[in-house]
Structure 1
Amino acid sequence: MSDPTSLLIAGCGDVGGRLARLMLEDGWTVHGLRRHVAALPAGVHPVAGDLERPERPRDWPTGRLDYLVYSAAASQHDEAGYRSAYVEGLRHVLTWLEATGQTPRRLLFVSSSGVYGQRDGEWIDEDAPAEADTYSGRVMLEAERLALSSGIPATRVRLSGIYGPGREWLLKQVRMGYRVVSAPPLYANRIHVDDCAGLLAHLLRADASGESLADCYLGVDDAPAPLHEVVGWLRERLGVTDWAEESTVRRSGSKRCSNARARALGWAPRYPSYREGYAAILDES
């Protein structure tokens, strides 16, 4: 009998922890790297370490590593913080792999739709120009290039608008009377956190079964929607009647992302639109 497929999740936080549970159910061996390993799901091999420091963690796994998922989160929200988390952090992991003679079959780099600069409601897919006009998008593109040049077959997974339990910023804003403009519509893309993990798991399973992966997938639900429509639906569900005095939009972009490529690989979101996703959150609260 062959050994279980092994996976290292570098940055095993919310999304990574959900992914870890799915792969453990499949019988994979899962290593989770994060600063505070007590928060790792049961069954995950803990790797206590800081992606932003060059020292290889003492608990770094020995032996074969079949897959690497890089799923970091910036702890400092400025250009230096983003570069430290996404570029330097990935560089550190690649250095540790090289030092230990480990070459995964594939690297999944968890990226963001922020790499796109479109702002006029255009439909975009993975082949659309990625010309970010923000520091976060530019740094993410730099990290993506590092992943693609790593010598490991790499796939970028560009997620957008992650929400779910513990990620309820919009719900809080709506309860406070969040006011958004309706013309022109500000299109927003989103994906439930469980679907983030489900997409990553689907890609890992597909690669492990011999299917050919593209070098990029957009991770979004089926239904980009104008922000004012989402806010209106949430107001009705929450019974909110008051409005804030002024519009409080904090968005600078407007685009509609297509998940057709991921769906062509056989993936389907559990929550196809904001309605199903937010209904699940509200029903559990």
Structure 2
Amino acid sequence: MSDLSVMVVGCGDVGGRLAQQLLARGWQVSGLRRAVEHLPAGVVPVAADLAEPTIPPAWPQRAPDYIVYCVAASQHDEAGYQSAYVDGLRHVLAWLAERGQHPRRLLFVSSSSVFAQKDGEWVDETAATEPEGYSGRIMLDAERLALASGIPASVVRLTGIYGPGREWLLSQVRQGYRVAEEPPLYGNRIHAEDAASLLAYLLQADADGVALDDCYIGVDDDPAPLADVVGWLRGYLGVTEWSDEQRVRRTGSKRCSNARVRALGWVPEYPSYKEGYAAILQGKG
């Protein structure tokens, strides 16, 4: 049994998977979300709306060793992103200050949307962040808030998360929608379970005294052209018809590297889309 504790702020899909992985290691886990009835068994519930500045009644009296800020915007526009990622984080930092709590480290779960590269370039944590859309700009603001919080912090930029319940591409392929092959449109992805395992790995590494960087990219081993992914899924699913419309589109194209987290020793369970989608389609993912 570990004496380590963590507060997962935004304990939804990835956060819930993280909570379960840490519980299995003996961590004490609190989970903050609006609908606490959906928390995994064993997670101490903290009911809260991050849009409200008042400290939640269930906020722990004892400082958690770690905070993982892992929210998903419920409103997909500029105001929704600002509320979820910047204002919500600011409220959590204020609650910590109000209780005089100083966790060992804050992990802020960000997104590869902070990168604007779109010509198939390889991207690592040192690459320029010049986002063109509001989502990337706001996420970058939230990253800066986390890193300037006075709490040791690391930003984890997750790429396209997929897994059970996140099956938009599968539905598109089943409908026979086409995707452009040239120029190749590279996509980056990580299975939800691997996203959680990466966060758990970083927390345990910090607890074990490993010096963490302030930024990591969360991605599998195989940033593949979208046409290759669609072609493989068509074969796996036995789809032979094509739609008259070209509907599976992407505007950007980059290849994100996981070399930094690999160097720490983290290994994805699903190294490519093939293992990940096969697990989903077999009901194992």
TM-score by length of 1: 0.98
> In the alignment, is residue 178 of structure 1 matched against residue 184 of structure 2?
no
| Letter of the structure 2 residue corresponding to residue 261 of structure 1 | R
Within 5 A, what are the aligned runs for 1:151-230? 151-230=150-229
> In the alignment, is residue 116 of structure 1 matched against residue 95 of structure 2?
no
Q: Is the contact made by 1:73 and 1:85 (CA closer than 8 Å) also made in structure 2?
A: yes
Alpha-carbon deviation of 1:3? 7.3
Tell me what 2:264 maps to: 265
Tell me what 1:140 maps to: 139
Alpha-carbon deviation of 1:280? 0.5
**Distance in 1 separating the partners of 2:64 and 2:152:** 14
Tell me what 2:40 maps to: 41
Please say which of residues 271-280 and 246-255 is displaced more in the overlay. Answer: 246-255
Alpha-carbon deviation of 1:106? 0.3
Superimposed CA distance per residue, residues 57-103 of structure 1 (whole angstroms, 9 cap, x where no aligned partner): 11111112110000010000001100000000000000000001111
Alpha-carbon deviation of 1:249? 3.2
Superimposed CA distance per residue, residues 107-147 of structure 1 (whole angstroms, 9 cap, x where no aligned partner): 00000001000000000100000111111000000000000
> In the alignment, is residue 30 of structure 1 matched against residue 29 of structure 2?
yes
Q: Is the contact made by 1:11 and 1:51 (CA closer than 8 Å) also made in structure 2?
A: no
Tell me the percent identity: 68
Equivalenced residues, count: 284
**Distance in 2 separating the partners of 1:5 and 1:135:** 36
Q: Is the contact made by 1:6 and 1:67 (CA closer than 8 Å) also made in structure 2?
A: yes
| Letter of the structure 1 residue corresponding to residue 279 of structure 2 | A
| Letter of the structure 2 residue corresponding to residue 31 of structure 1 | S
TM-score by length of 2: 0.98
Post-superposition, which runs of at least 4 consecutive aligned residues in structure 1 deviate over 2 A?
Answer: none
**Distance in 2 separating the partners of 1:3 and 1:212:** 20
Stretches of structure 2 lacking an aligned partner (at least 5 in a row)? none
| Letter of the structure 1 residue corresponding to residue 6 of structure 2 | L
Tell me what 2:102 maps to: 103
**Distance in 1 separating the partners of 2:250 and 2:76:** 16
Q: Is the contact made by 2:2 and 2:27 (CA closer than 8 Å) also made in structure 1?
A: no
**Distance in 2 separating the partners of 1:125 and 1:194:** 22
